[in-house]
Every structure is written in C-alpha cells, then in structure tokens.
Amino acid sequence: MKTVKIDVDIPPNRELRLVLPADIPTGRSTLLLVFDTPAKHAPLDLPVHDIGPWPIHDSLRREDLYGDDGR
C-alpha cells in the first residue's frame, strides 16, 4: 500500500484530471479520496484575564487548602 498526497484546486465544474506518480503500479487498485476542507468557523475568541504571575508563597498542597481534617 502506498499513500500519495496531492493538493488540488477544485474548479467550478468539479472535474479533476489526475496524473499519478510513475511508481504507482498499473492494474486494478482502490483509490481513497479524503476531503479535508478548511474550517467554516473562526476559532473562538475567548476573553483573557491577566491577573499577573502566581504568588510565590501560595501553595496548592491538600493540607494547605483543606486544613488538618482534610476537608
């Protein structure tokens, strides 16, 4: 099995002429077409809140967050 990637511009009549590389053997074969179309929606533009760097002495240890009883 051999994978060949060919980038194409699809014309308005939606007809393509395909010329395969010389190393593709002749005879019966299976051709798989995968259409990878560009995204139709722009990426999400989520708000960003910059609150500065993490305080140097703050800890996220369980004991520091919940106390002696672990809750």
Q: Average pLDDT, stretch 53-58?
A: 85
Between 37 and 52, where is the model more confident?
52
pTM of the model: 0.38
Q: Please check the confidence at residue 53 and state whether its pLDDT lies above 70.
A: yes
> In the predicted model, what is the mean pLDDT of residues 12-24?
87
The stretch 17-37 carries a mean pLDDT of 84
Q: What does the alpha-carbon distance between residue 6 and residue 12 come to, in Å, rounded to a whole number? A: 19
The domain spans of the chain are: 1-35
When pLDDT is cut at 50, 70 and 90, the band that residue 70 belongs to is: low
What's the rounded Cα separation, in Å, for the pair 2 and 20?
12
Dmax over CA atoms of the chain, in Å, equals 75
Looking at residues 51-58, what average pLDDT do you find?
Answer: 86
